[in-house]
Structure 1
Amino acid sequence: MVERLVLLVGYDGAELLDIACVTSCLDIANRIGAAPPYRVVLATPGRRTVRCDSGLRVEADEALEHFNEPMDTLVVSGGLGHERAAADPVLVGHVRRLAALARRVSSACTGATVLAQAGLLTGRRVTTHWMYADTLAARYPDVQVDADPIYIRDGEIATSGGVTSALDLTLSFIEEDHGETLARGVAMGTVAYLQRPGGQSQMSMFVSTRVSGDLLVRRIRDHVVSHLDSDLTTPALARFAGVSERHLGRLFLTHVERTPAQYVRDVRTEAAAQLALSTDLPLGAVARQCGFGSTESLRQAFLDRYGVPPSKYRASKYRRTPA
């Protein structure tokens, strides 16, 4: 194999990061020794320059309708224009045609809508940006939509979640093609995890905006995040907030859609996952730092949230190598 041809499909309203996460990772891979190297081509209808969501214009390399080379990977970009792209029968028809020429087919973010419209996701388990997952599932009932993971591989089809999840998916491609060492080098070049496990949730407890509607809940949230190894039982949080336990429970169910205890457990579990991936701390120390009473309670929390014990989660080949 002389090169690995990667074809990106773009259109007006594509998300620039969906394109750049793929192209930048593959460019770095080439610079540090990918052999065979990647050749990346951006194809658009009529080879037109496309205006991305951000307003920036990106020039195309090829016309979508004229491209007919066998390729290693087809990537359909997402973006706010994904609905218009999926409603374009010419664009969708060419995506379907090109998929037959590719070893693997993938989408970034809401590009999954285009793949679904092309009939390429029927019977598949897929993901997309969490904000659009319900719409995708309702429109294509024969597609198994899971809004939570960062990316999903189902056979030769791969789909990624919101925006920068395309970086994680591309790193997984590089590791599959060239091995972990090269993929780690690309991750270091992009200052990224190598790489977040595909099953990790798109909605981090630390960046979720669902608690932003009530100042008291935000204050409690900040207290929880910064005092993981403290007493965070519901009575303790109620005393901290100066409210009754019943009122605290109502506040959390309204603004967080979890009980206080569920929220605390979720935050502690995610914090423990980050420590497990980014440090060599013994799991007992991870459990203590994150407020778990024992390694067994940590283990049960991981099984409930990630489906694997913390030791297996840490030992995964997707682990980030500490600096």
Structure 2
Amino acid sequence: MLRRVVIVALPGVQPLDVTGPAEVLAYAERMSPGAYAIEVVSPGGAALDTGSGYALAPAGALEDVRGPLDTLIVAGGAGARHAAPAVVEQVRRLAARTRRMASVCTGAFVLAEAGLLDGRRATTHWAHCDDLRRRRPAVHVDPDPIFVFDGPVRTSAGVTAGMDLSLALVEEDLGAPVSLAVARVLVLFVKRPGGQSQFSAQLAAQSADRAPLRELQAWMADHLDADLSVPALAQRTSMSERNFARAFKREAGMTPAAYVEALRVERARLTLESTAAPVEAVARQCGFGTVETLRRAFARRLGVSPAAYRSRFAA
């Protein structure tokens, strides 16, 4: 089954938002001939300056796209956040005759302006989530995942997340073995699940201003199997529980409990990917205590069970 894929690139495009998904789909086509026909288009078919020392020369004009589509992908970049009404209307026109729509990075702004994300959960680059939420209140913006599937719409976080999204599309169309084979050919370290955070736990949190809390953050990462409750952590910093909880949230940007869970899930995820340790052992090593506690944390943060995560993403 030949799937026609149109990638829309706009002025100020982030080039990897185009070339990343295009390469993933092109390699899938080489492995499964007849799977995809890929077209990159721009307004008027104009070449686009990328700001990276070269220009992208699309294969055709956005206005000239005719006939049914399988997948419509809108790439991100400065132009996507401020797309002209005519561009938004063209995307709305194409969306009406495509099986599924997708955006990479700030390409979500175009889908949102076209009304295609109203009432749906979506994501975009972390730096622009608040702006998208302000401009389109009807969109349920989730700033954490690297990509989100909601009905016929798929949205991804910034830049390289477009490749993760594209691998998920390949898996949806052609199966997990082909998707994994493409990831290996492109030397991607791991095919990340959509629920994975845009940041590691330590990048997602702020570094505390005060030295005692900053040192505590470093200690926590190395002692995930220790007692990391608020009373125990407050005692380590010689603070009252109430003052500690308030200070930590103010300086780290999240509660101690949320920070601890994020650290433990990240360590468990990496352990499941890189070792054959039983899930029970992973739960103990990472401080969850029981498999059920680990399972609940994975469901909240990654949307999959530990066993399902390992079966799909282990090396």
> How would you bin the TM-score normalised by the shorter chain?
0.7 to 0.9
Report how many aligned residue pairs link the two structures. Answer: 314
| Unmatched segments (≥5 aa) in structure 2 | none
- Counterpart secondary structure, 1:183: helix
Alpha-carbon spacing, 1:23–1:312, altered in 2? closer, same or farther (3 Å): closer
1:92 corresponds in structure 2 to 88
Q: Secondary structure of 1:18's partner?
A: helix
- CA deviation digits over 1:167-197, x for unaligned, max 9? 1110011112211111110111223365322
Deviation per residue, 1:253-279 (Å, 9 max, x gap)? 111133334422321122213323443
Query: Which one-letter code corresponds to 1:284 in the other structure?
Result: E
Q: Could you tell me which residue of structure 2 aligns to residue 244 of structure 1? A: 239
Distance apart, 1:224 and its partner CA: 2.0
Change (3 A) 1:227 1:120: same
Is 1:260 the counterpart of 2:259 in the alignment? no
2:40 equivalent in structure 1: 42
**Structure 1's 82 and 288: CA in aligned 2 closer, same or farther, altered over 3 A?**
same
Alignment partner for residue 145 of structure 2, among 125, 145, 149? 149
Measure, in 2, the Cα distance between the counterparts of 1:292 and 1:157: 35
Shift of 1:130: 2.5
SS at 2:134's partner residue?
helix
Number of the residue aligned with 2:170: 174
Maintained 8 Å contact 2:42/2:61: yes
- Aligned partner of 1:7 in structure 2 is 6
TM-score by length of 1: 0.86
Instruction: Report the equivalent of 2:282.
Output: 286
1:189/1:251 Cα in 2 relative to 1: closer, same or farther (>3 Å)?
farther
Q: 2:313 aligns with which of 305, 308, 320?
A: 320
* Offset from partner CA, 1:85-130 (integer Å, 9 cap, x none): 2xx0111121112223322211111111101111222332222222
2:16 corresponding residue in structure 1 = 17
CA offsets, 1:137-158, max 9 Å, x none? 2222222322222222222221
**For residues 290-309 of structure 1, what are the structure 2 equivalents within 5 Å?**
290-306=286-302, 309=305
87, 102, 108: which one aligns with 1:106: 102
5+ residue gaps in structure 1?
A: none
Distance in structure 2 (CA, Å) of the matches to 1:26 and 1:44: 19
Q: Which amino acid aligns with 2:24?
A: C
- 1:73 is displaced (CA, Å) by 1.3
Matched to 2:256, the amino acid is: P
3-state DSSP of counterpart to 2:22: helix
Q: Which amino acid aligns with 1:36?
A: G
Q: Is the 8 A contact 2:144 2:197 kept in 1?
A: yes
Letter paired with 2:40:
L
- 1:153 and 1:303 map into 2 onto residues whose CA distance is 16
TM-score when normalising by structure 2:
0.88
- In structure 2, give the amino acid aligned to 1:63: A
Name the counterpart of 1:66. Answer: 64
Deviation of 1:203 after TM superposition, in Å, equals 3.1
User: What corresponds to 1:81 in structure 2?
Assistant: 79
Shift of the 47–170 alpha-carbon distance from structure 1 to 2, 3 Å rule, reads same
CA 1:190–1:207 in structure 2 vs 1: closer, same or farther (change >3 Å)?
farther
The answer to whether the 8 A contact 2:147-2:155 is kept is yes
- Maintained 8 Å contact 1:53/1:79: no
Q: What code does the residue aligned with 1:62 have?
A: G
Q: How far 1:282 moved relative to its partner?
A: 0.5
**Residue aligned with 1:41, SS:** strand
Cα–Cα, structure 1 residues 254 and 12, in superposed 2: closer, same or farther, change >3 Å? same
Shift of 1:213: 4.7
1:250 to 1:54, Cα distance in 2 relative to 1, 3 A: farther
- Separation in structure 2 between the aligned mates of residue 212 and residue 23 of structure 1, nearest angstrom: 40
Tell me, in whole angstroms, the C-alpha distance in 1 between the residues paired with 2:160 and 2:230.
35
CA distance in 2, matches of 1:37, 1:307: 29
